[in-house]
Amino acid sequence: MLLDATRQAGLPVAAGCGSGQQCALCGLEILEGESSLARETEDEALLKRLNRIDEQLRLSCQLEVKGNLVVTAQYW
């Protein structure tokens, strides 16, 4: 998952639920490489709406990394 990859790279990513796919705090903006990601699922969209997360962000705890990405977080 993208959350694991960012942490392995030493980048701090918030995840209040401990990667439990509940809090939506791990939202990242994909700057490059978005075409290699799966489309947003209904579950991801719902989680972002319920937690008032910007709809442009992707939840890193739900994204399988299939290629090179450049990402940023609003708090970096």
CATH number at residue 28: 3.10.20.30
**Cα distance between residue 64 and residue 2, in whole Å:** 6
Write out the residue range of the structural domain in which residue 64 sits: 2-72
Residue 4 has phi, psi (to 5 degrees) of -65, -40
pLDDT tens digit sequence for 7-58 = 999 999 988 887 777 888 899 999 999 998 999 999 999 999 999 999 999 9
Total number of domains in the chain: 1
Residues 6+ apart with CB under 8 A from 29: 56, 57, 58, 71, 72, 73, 74
pLDDT at 48: 92
pLDDT at 56: 94
From 30, 24, 26, select the one nearest 43 (Cα to Cα): 24
pLDDT tens digit sequence for 52-67 = 999 999 999 989 888 9
The structure's pTM equals 0.87
